[in-house]
A and B are shown apart, each in its own frame.
Chain A
């Protein structure tokens, strides 16, 4: 069975500073990894995914994530945070498209 962990319930960062939202996973076989963002009262929005290829994946709104197989991690990063990035971020893993599992979410607050 696969699982996703997001060790931080809350991440606070000052506007303009780099941000990192952590994600580790457990899956048998090759993982498909995703990041989604949820703004208040909105649906989940796709940010980026890793299927194969370069370990550094670039996505929407200036976000990127680095796949690290040895550490089974897929941390979300952004070089310079914006106040509008404040939202709930979910990491998800899929085993060849089956059993799509979400992490518990991390609330990001970017302070002006």
Chain B
């Protein structure tokens, strides 16, 4: 079965650079969630989109922005990167009426040097 796809899988950036992470949900899923998981931490919810509109917002820094496109894929844009942004970024997707059971992608590991 198709799963959530995230690209790139690994990304190395320097401080103050920008990064764009991409997420392709499971076909027919209309909701996308972004999570940040720091080393040894539990996943922290950043932001979610339903039908291309922001549906919920968590602890997403102002330096980050995200959007969902007409094909339901989503991009997380991160600017002025800081060392503390180094983390595993997960995307999850769900079908809105399916009690929001979320299926997670493999994650993008971002390292900021």
Residues of A within 8 A of B (CB): 32, 34, 36, 42-46, 49, 51, 90, 94, 97-105
Contact = CB atoms under 8 A, between A and B. Distances in A.
Contacts of B96: 97
B64 interface: no
A10 to B, nearest CB: 12
Interface in B42-84: 42-45, 48, 56
Contacts of A51: 99
B75 to A, nearest CB: 18
6 contacts: A45-B104, A46-B103, A100-B56, A102-B43, A103-B42, A104-B42
A103 B37 CA distance: 12
Contact of A46 (B45, B48, B102, B106): B102
A43 B107 contact: yes
B106 to A, nearest CB: 4
A90 to B, nearest CB: 6
B106 A100 contact: no
Interface of B: 4, 33, 41-45, 48, 56, 90, 92, 96, 99-107
Given A44-B90, A100-B48, 18 more contacts: A32-B100, A43-B104, A43-B106, A44-B43, A44-B92, A46-B101, A49-B99, A49-B101, A51-B99, A90-B43, A97-B96, A97-B100, A98-B56, A99-B45, A99-B56, A100-B33, A102-B45, A104-B41
5 closest Cβ pairs, A-B complex: A97-B100, A44-B104, A43-B106, A43-B104, A102-B42
B107 A32 contact: no
Nearest to B58: A99
A42 B99 contact: no
B102 to A, nearest CB: 7
